[in-house]
Structure 1
Amino acid sequence: MNKILSNTKGDRWIWLIVILLSVLSMLAVYSSTGTLAYKRGVGVESILMKHMAMIFGGIALMYISHKLDYRYYAGISKLLMIVTIPLLLYTLAFGATINNASRWINIPGTGLSFQTSDMAKLALITYLARLLSRKQEHIKSVKESFVPIMGSVCVVFALIAWANMSTALMLFGVSILLLIIGRISVKQIGIVCIGGALIVSAVMFLGPRRHLYMTRIHTFMHPELADPAKKYQGDHAKIAIASGGILGKGPGNSTERNYLPEAFSDEIYAIIVEEYGLIGGIALIGIYLFLLYRCMKIVTKAPKAFGALLAAGLSFSLTIQAFANMAVAVGLGPVTGVPLPLVSMGGTSILFTSVAFGIILSVSRHIDENEELKKSGEEGGETKGNNKVIVGDLTLA
């Protein structure tokens, strides 16, 4: 154990945040899965043990991915994109339907399902970071930079949006932020936004889930006119939050967990506020904000564009997803299927979120190692500036 701890590098605060969120996740999932356990005919402890296995598996993946030099993710991103697009197409055609959405692929012989949009998020962000960092010399060129960048964003966005609009919109927003940081011109970003708007319009009016999207928007905009059954989940989430008060009802004392259909996943923030009160809800918001702050420190210290863009894109994705989930719980947005990162019960969501944390920590580890080398060089009176590593067409210090 001591050897493993000594080998955990990178920002210590991010490691602490992961541990805090994991502990909170186990407490919240154990408290909110009573109804699910009853429906499945199993004990709550059985569901908790599976969830804990996913959490520990995620931490193991985070440890492995943080030990890999972040610069290798540039090459991995190409492979991920090659695999992701066919998987998204396969999901649309043959994916398993869960909760009226075809977002999953069943893994034969395991009883497990795989949500391809989780891989797509990681693939697109790492691939965009690679493209933007490698094309800085020709960043204003339409042929050299804009076409491949816009093509990758719009293709992945369209394939995800057809079955999962909320995830697609968040990923599109993260992509636009990366384009801004990557010095893409305002005109070109505007063209990407127009392309995204056209895709959204096509999916909203022609897609297989158009009726569901329209119903959710109408329910959010005009709750007084909506069918009570359609706003059932949102109403009970608000009841949970309102009944929590300042200090909450205490761990395990939620009553709305028996009414909320996705208390352990989409609406887990409402259960947390009900049990831990306004203080607990604000504390959780503070944890995600502090995570963003620590990640931005990594971005500003990253010596190369790829590391900075990689850390920025992944941290934006995690925090935007967290605040989208919490906004839905408090009634600031229409109901979606977005989980709370590292807190909601899930399978592939936890695993890919953990990998994203690991990649951010890999960038942080590289920064720390560079600073140690610089410090040792200054103390020894040596110059380390001429030591370089060539990766592809990039010269990396």
Structure 2
Amino acid sequence: MNYRDFQRTLPEAASHLQRGRSLWSYTHLDAWLLIFLLALAGYGLFVFYSASGQDVQAVQRQLIRYGVAFGVMLLLACIDPRLLRRWAPWLFVAGLGLLVAVLVAGVGAKGAQRWIALPGLPRFQPSEVMKLIVPMTLAWFFAERPLPPRASHVLVVLVLLLIPTLLIAKQPDLGTSLLIACSGLFVLLLSGIRWRVIFAAAAVAGACAPLLWMGMRDYQRQRVLTFLNPESDPLGAGWNIIQSKTAIGSGGVYGKGWLNGTQSHLDFLPESHTDFIIAVLAEELGLVGVLALLAVYLLVIARGLYIAAQAQDTYGRLLAGSLTLTFFVYVFVNIGMVSGILPVVGVPLPLVSYGGTSIVTLMAGFGMIMSIHTHRTMVTR
């Protein structure tokens, strides 16, 4: 049979072979997810320009960070998920070693010891990398075993999750430790664990809440107390949340106009270009601007969950689902703490707040999600 006869016999396969030579097949990028992420980054720069006080140099630095982050995403999208799966346990061990090194010889700033500096390299925060390594490792563990998981397997996973969470909380970095705990718990939930186990675990966690309170540092307890009653110290601990709610409320439906915010530009709102940047957005663009941002976030999350549902194996499904749901937690916690419905824990607004490591980590996660989807397409079609 010659090539033309083969094309006539299997027209769908032949047309797929022709389509396979597109740009997306070479880069392993998911077109829809890439479009949504680019829209989110563009909107973020638009808001950041105003939040930074129209600082062009800060915008350029943020743009460079976006470029590095998208480059990392492209690199990880080209890596076969099976390779990530094989390397997951070794990366986990290496990550734990770095967390221990941070506690022993880490670099401190503002009362926290979260960074490590290696000769010839800029300092970096190992806890950010663990946001990816932890769900990779737990997904690897479950992928090697029958699901739903047995009680012994659940216990092992909880131990694996507890170790990095406690090491990061010791730095102290409550926000990152909670995000890592969520990423691991999402893997556990997606593994098909029974509902009665979930309810029992929730009851145990509620009973252990007093122990958590006793283990908190003084400033962490103050954050919780401020969340419950910010007006108790309006010029001190309650200042941030009072000013952020004032900015959000003053924006109304349509806002005061881009670059016309008062709370941020008159320095009433602290950290306006990092953790509290959505208050700037709400003040200047109003409810309409916030809903537009939430719509883009929703599209990103929906696409990520779709990719997770279409994954060809357990590892891909658990990893993609966990990374997507953790991204949702980023959004929910940041908006919740800025609007006063959650305590302030120092979680940036993903791909909008000023920062480098968090943006690169998030885009690396989306690179893994794209890899899971595009490599699946090449194998199954």
Quote the residue 2:235 is aligned against. Answer: 228
Would you say 1:330 and 2:339 are equivalent positions?
A: yes
State the distance in 1 between where 2:39 and 2:149 align.
Answer: 40
Quote the residue 2:252 is aligned against. Answer: 245
State the distance in 2 between where 1:3 and 1:303 align.
Answer: 22
Q: Specify the SS of the correspondent of 2:230.
A: coil
State the distance in 2 between where 1:7 and 1:246 align.
Answer: 44
State the distance in 1 between where 2:287 and 2:169 align.
Answer: 34
Q: How does 1:172-321 map to 2 (within 5 A)?
A: 172-185=181-194, 204-206=213-215, 210-257=217-264, 258-321=267-330
The answer on whether the counterparts of 2:96 and 2:164 sit within 8 Å (CA) in structure 1 is yes
- Tell me: CA distance 1:127–1:226, structure 2 relative to 1, closer, same or farther (3 Å): same
State the distance in 1 between where 2:117 and 2:325 align.
Answer: 29
Quote the residue 2:161 is aligned against. Answer: 153
Taking structure 1 as the reference length, the TM-score comes to 0.82
Quote the residue 1:127 is aligned against. Answer: 137
Quote the residue 1:384 is aligned against. Answer: none
Summarize deviations over 1:342-391 as a string: whole Å, max 9, x none.
111111111111100100111111232235x3xxxxxxxxxxxxxxxxxx
Q: How big is the shift at 1:185? A: 4.6
Q: How does 1:8-157 map to 2 (within 5 A)?
A: 8-34=27-53, 44-106=55-117, 112-136=122-146, 139-140=149-150, 142=152, 145-157=153-165
Q: How big is the shift at 1:25? A: 2.0
- Tell me: CA distance 1:217–1:83, structure 2 relative to 1, closer, same or farther (3 Å): same
**Paired amino acid for 2:131:** K
Q: How big is the shift at 1:75? A: 2.0
Q: How big is the shift at 1:156? A: 1.3
Q: How big is the shift at 1:249? A: 2.5
Percent identity at matched positions? 28
The answer on whether the counterparts of 2:29 and 2:370 sit within 8 Å (CA) in structure 1 is yes
State the distance in 2 between where 1:198 and 1:369 align.
Answer: 48
The answer on whether the counterparts of 2:168 and 2:174 sit within 8 Å (CA) in structure 1 is yes
The answer on whether the counterparts of 2:187 and 2:319 sit within 8 Å (CA) in structure 1 is no
Q: Specify the SS of the correspondent of 2:115.
A: strand
Q: How big is the shift at 1:197? A: 7.0
Summarize deviations over 1:223-277 as a string: whole Å, max 9, x none.
2323531111111111221122222223322222223221111111111122221
- Tell me: CA distance 1:138–1:240, structure 2 relative to 1, closer, same or farther (3 Å): closer
- Tell me: CA distance 1:195–1:74, structure 2 relative to 1, closer, same or farther (3 Å): farther
- Tell me: CA distance 1:249–1:195, structure 2 relative to 1, closer, same or farther (3 Å): same
Quote the residue 2:14 is aligned against. Answer: none
- Tell me: CA distance 1:87–1:61, structure 2 relative to 1, closer, same or farther (3 Å): same
Q: How big is the shift at 1:291? A: 1.7
Summarize deviations over 1:21-75 as a string: whole Å, max 9, x none.
11122222222223xxxxxxxx922222221111100001101111111121112
Summarize deviations over 1:132-155 as a string: whole Å, max 9, x none.
11112693152xx23431221111
Task: Say how many residue pairs are matched.
Answer: 358
State the distance in 2 between where 1:203 and 1:109 align.
Answer: 39
**Paired amino acid for 1:30:** Y
Q: Specify the SS of the correspondent of 2:108.
A: strand
- Tell me: CA distance 1:323–1:301, structure 2 relative to 1, closer, same or farther (3 Å): same
**Paired amino acid for 2:128:** D
Partner of residue 369 from structure 1, selected from 365, 368, 378: 378
- Tell me: CA distance 1:81–1:125, structure 2 relative to 1, closer, same or farther (3 Å): same
Quote the residue 1:386 is aligned against. Answer: none
Would you say 1:342 and 2:351 are equivalent positions?
A: yes
Unaligned runs of 5+ in 1: 35-42, 374-397
- Tell me: CA distance 1:132–1:201, structure 2 relative to 1, closer, same or farther (3 Å): farther
The answer on whether the counterparts of 1:11 and 1:361 sit within 8 Å (CA) in structure 2 is yes
- Tell me: CA distance 1:141–1:340, structure 2 relative to 1, closer, same or farther (3 Å): same
